[in-house]
Amino acid sequence: MERRRFVRLNVLLPVRYSASPAECGELYQGQGLTRDISLSGSYFHVSSPGPIKPGCVISLNIDASLPFPDSPETSHFQAKGEVVRLELPGPASPYYGVAVNFLEGPSFSPS
């Protein structure tokens, strides 16, 4: 039985993420592709995680093709979260997997 608070959407979206020196030891920016996302967290793939490891707090910015109220533009999904798991590449995927638990509700803004 699944115990998730929010429904997970399986969706491929570009994600940009960053970590500050205070959070992960050095300033780092990277990009990847989501596998799934919900209001409580996300899982995404990256070619290299850099210094990102479980316990690091990162900022995420996801470009979503969702209509933004009162605007003809698409929206950006922004959140801050803690990395809870880092999966190594393997036979099923040549990419690292990063699981993030959002620390607060995500926000949306127009492009």
Domain harbouring 54, CATH code: 2.30.110.10
pLDDT surpasses 90 at 48: yes
Asked if residue 15 is part of any domain, the answer here is: yes
Asked if residue 91 is part of any domain, the answer here is: yes
Q: 23 in helix, strand or coil? A: helix
Question: Quick one: pLDDT band at residue 72, thresholds 50, 70, 90?
Answer: low
DSSP secondary structure string for all residues of 30-92 = EEEEEEEE-SSEEEEEES--TT--TT-EEEEEEEEEEEPTT-SSEEEEEEEEEEEEEEPPBTT
Output the pLDDT for position 67: 56
Residue recorded with tokens 């803004």:
109
Output the pLDDT for position 58: 95
Compare 109 and 83 and report the one with higher pLDDT.
Answer: 83
pTM of the predicted protein model? 0.84
Mean pLDDT calculated for residue range 5-33: 87
Q: 25 in helix, strand or coil? A: coil
Asked if residue 2 is part of any domain, the answer here is: no
- In angstroms, how far is the first alpha carbon of the chain from the final one? 38
Tally of domains within the chain: 1
Compare 74 and 62 and report the one with higher pLDDT.
Answer: 62
Asked if residue 1 is part of any domain, the answer here is: no
Mean pLDDT calculated for residue range 83-92: 94
